[in-house]
A and B are shown apart, each in its own frame.
Chain A
Amino acid sequence: MSTITRDEVAHLAHLARLAVTDDELDTFAVQLDVILSSVASIADVAADDILPTTHAVPLTNVLRADEPGTSLNRDTVLLAAPAAEGGRFRVPRILDAQE
Chain B
Amino acid sequence: MTEFIKLSAAELAGLVADGTASARDITQAHLDRITSTDERLNAFVTVDAEGALATADAVDARRAAGEQLPPLAGVPIAVKDIVVTNGIETTAASKILRGWIPPYDATIVTKLRAAGLVPLGKTNLDEFAMGSSTENSAFGPSRNPWDLARTPGGSSGGSSAAVAAYQAPLAIGTDTGGSIRQPASLTGIVGHKPTYGGVSRSGLIAYASSLDQAGPFGRTVLDAALLHEVIAGHDPADSTSLDLPVPLVADAARIGAAGDLTGMTIGVVSNLSGEGYEPGVVSAIAATVAQLEQMGAKVVECPCPHFDYALAAYYLIAPSECSSNLARFDAMRYGLRVGDDRQASLEAVMAGTRDAGFGAEVKRRIIIGTYALSAGYYDAYYGQAQKVRTLISRDFITAFSGCDVLVSPTSPIVAFELGPRAEDPMAMYAVDLCTLPASLAGVPAISVPCGLSDGLPVGLQIMAPVLADDRCYRVAAAVEASLNSPVLAAAPQL
Contact = CB atoms under 8 A, between A and B. Distances in A.
B442 A36 contact: no
Contacts of B370: 12, 15-16
B368 A35 contact: yes
A6 B470 CA distance: 49
B129 to A, nearest CB: 17
Nearest to B242: A57
Contact of A39 (B334, B363, B381): B381
A83 B342 CA distance: 11
Contacts of A24: 355, 360, 363
A59 interface: yes
Given A36-B368, A56-B440, A57-B197, A19 B355 contact: yes
Contacts of A38: 311-312, 315, 426
B331 A82 contact: yes
Interface string B213-250: 00000000000000000000000100110100000000
B355 A18 contact: yes
Interface string B426-453: 1001000000000011110000000000
Interface string B357-380: 010100110111011001000001
B364 A42 contact: no
A17 B312 contact: no
Interface residues of B, number: 74
Given A20-B355, A42-B316, A94-B346, A80 B390 contact: no
A1 interface: no
B337 interface: yes
Interface string A16-33: 111111001001100110
Contacts of A40: 312
B385 interface: yes
Nearest to A60: B239
Contact of A96 (B342, B345, B380): B345
A13 B323 CA distance: 11
A69 to B, nearest CB: 10
Given A21-B355, A72-B103, A79-B101, A13 B367 contact: yes
Contacts of A64: 236
Contacts of A80: 100-103, 333-335
B10 interface: no
Interface of A: 4, 8-9, 12-21, 24, 27-28, 31-32, 34-36, 38-43, 45-46, 50-57, 59, 62, 64, 72-73, 76-77, 79-83, 89, 91-94, 96
Interface of B: 100-104, 195-197, 210-211, 236, 239-240, 242, 306, 309, 311-313, 315-316, 323, 327, 330-337, 340, 342, 344-352, 354-355, 358, 360, 363-364, 366-368, 370-371, 374, 380-381, 383-391, 393, 425-426, 429, 440-443, 466
Given A35-B364, A72-B104, A80-B333, 20 more contacts: A12-B374, A13-B367, A15-B374, A18-B363, A18-B367, A19-B348, A19-B351, A19-B354, A20-B355, A31-B425, A39-B385, A42-B385, A52-B389, A52-B390, A54-B386, A56-B443, A76-B103, A82-B331, A92-B346, A92-B348
20 contacts: A16-B370, A17-B347, A19-B352, A19-B354, A28-B364, A31-B364, A32-B364, A39-B381, A51-B387, A53-B386, A53-B389, A53-B393, A55-B240, A57-B240, A62-B239, A79-B103, A80-B334, A82-B331, A82-B335, A92-B348
Which 7 pairs of residues, A with B, have the shortest CB-CB distance? A56-B442, A52-B386, A82-B337, A46-B387, A19-B351, A39-B312, A62-B239
